[in-house]
Amino acid sequence: PLLARAYAMQGENARALETLDSGPIIPEMIGEAAWVAGNVHLANGDLAAARDAYDRAVQDLPRVSMLWVDVARFRDASADALGARDAVDYAIELDEANSAALALKANLVRTQAGLTASLQWYDAALAADPDNAGALIDRAATLGDLGRYRDMLASLRHAATLVPGDPRLYYLQATLAARAGNYRLARSLLQRTRGAMDDVPGFML
């Protein structure tokens, strides 16, 4: 299961599943194997298989905070907003310093309660882990939508030191340039995403 997780983290989902199916798994690792399978099925868009895998995982690993973060992501992808909230709240209850859980909570709050309400959760996520690149980028997008452009740029600059090639950095900077009327710079920044965000609605707009 640990080898399968390594493959999954590199985006090699088919190889991860092949590894899980390649031989028997010791009983102590059944929960880990199901967890990895759930993540892979979720990434592949197979929600039914992901649900079954996560159900098996939480039976064996009921008090692992990061597992409940992934369960929350699955429920959110399944349009189960209430279930996602419950799962992420439980993840935070298990580990109050889980930056990934706090960042996901921020994203859920942003959708359900608005931009301003989410900022305290992004701040909490970054207090737990100042180098959480995903939280920095999502916080930057939120600050931009609130018109707080200096704070937005500060978050983007920090994120750029951690994930310099992330296409979301270019997209958000392009959005900021366009809002300032600098369309030439905005176009240049969008081109640097190299097609990675061509199917994202906001990017297309």
Contact (Cβ atoms closer than 8 angstroms) between residue 92 and residue 98 = yes
Residue 63 pLDDT exceeds 90 = yes
Contact (Cβ atoms closer than 8 angstroms) between residue 36 and residue 20 = yes
Residue 57 pLDDT exceeds 90 = yes
pLDDT in tens, 137-147: 999 999 999 99
Six-digit token string for 175: 């959005």
Residue 23 pLDDT exceeds 90 = no
Output the pLDDT for position 130.
97
